[in-house]
Amino acid sequence: MKSFFRQRAFTLVELMVTLTIMSFALLASAPYLSDWTYSRQIKDAQSKLLRAYGLAKSLAVRNPAGAQSNDPAAGLKLETVGSDLFLYVCKGDPDSAACDGADTTGVLVWKADFPSAIKLNLGTNIWANLATATTDTTLAINNRGFPTSGKLNTYKLSRGGDANDVFGPLP
């Protein structure tokens, strides 16, 4: 007599072959996933840098600190806190002690965390790299909206290799 209820299942060999094929597919896609992650970090850093620069520039032109001539009216500060990087926009001189994450004087206008693995170059100067950063770095802007420390009109963001580098003019 024939059995009407026939059991169907995967054999151990079929399961192992399927897992092997899936693991090869995952290993083959890993470099593309890391490249996508690096690209996302660069785009995030670029967005934050351009937003901070635009905000600092418009704040400097409004000149709430009453800066004269080529004195800093506003600025950017990249601060290293432990293993984290923070980007600040401050009224007045960004080198002042009040321009930090614990500001209680109203000098700090905007704050964002900056991807710590990103290297940022402004002009020809390396502005920040967590691996070598020991001091905070600033960019002061005068009341006409120009950097007080010479003509820094370009930026470059990178994170290992040149494939994901982003560069362009500061607006």
pLDDT of 68 over the 70 cut: yes
Domain-embedded: residue 26: no
Domain-embedded: residue 64: yes
- 4-18, 46-60, 89-103, 130-144: the lowest-pLDDT one: 130-144
Domain-embedded: residue 2: no
Which one has a higher pLDDT value, 19 or 4?
Answer: 19
Domain-embedded: residue 13: no
126: domain CATH number? 3.55.40
The tens digit of pLDDT for each residue in 24-38 reads 998 888 888 777 888
pLDDT of 56 over the 60 cut: yes
Give the pLDDT confidence score for residue 161 in this predicted structure.
Answer: 66
* Integer Cα distance of 35 and 40 in angstroms: 9
Residues 165, 167, 169: CA angle, nearest 5 degrees: 175
Domain-embedded: residue 158: yes
Domain-embedded: residue 5: no
* Integer Cα distance of 168 and 40 in angstroms: 17
pTM listed for this prediction: 0.75
48: three-class secondary structure by DSSP: helix
Give the pLDDT confidence score for residue 21 in this predicted structure.
Answer: 96
Number of domains in the chain: 1
The tens digit of pLDDT for each residue in 101-153 reads 787 788 899 999 988 788 877 765 555 554 444 556 788 899 998 888 765 67
Confidence of residue 90 (pLDDT cuts 50, 70, 90): very high
Domain-embedded: residue 145: yes
Confidence of residue 52 (pLDDT cuts 50, 70, 90): very high
Domain extent at residue 48: 35-169
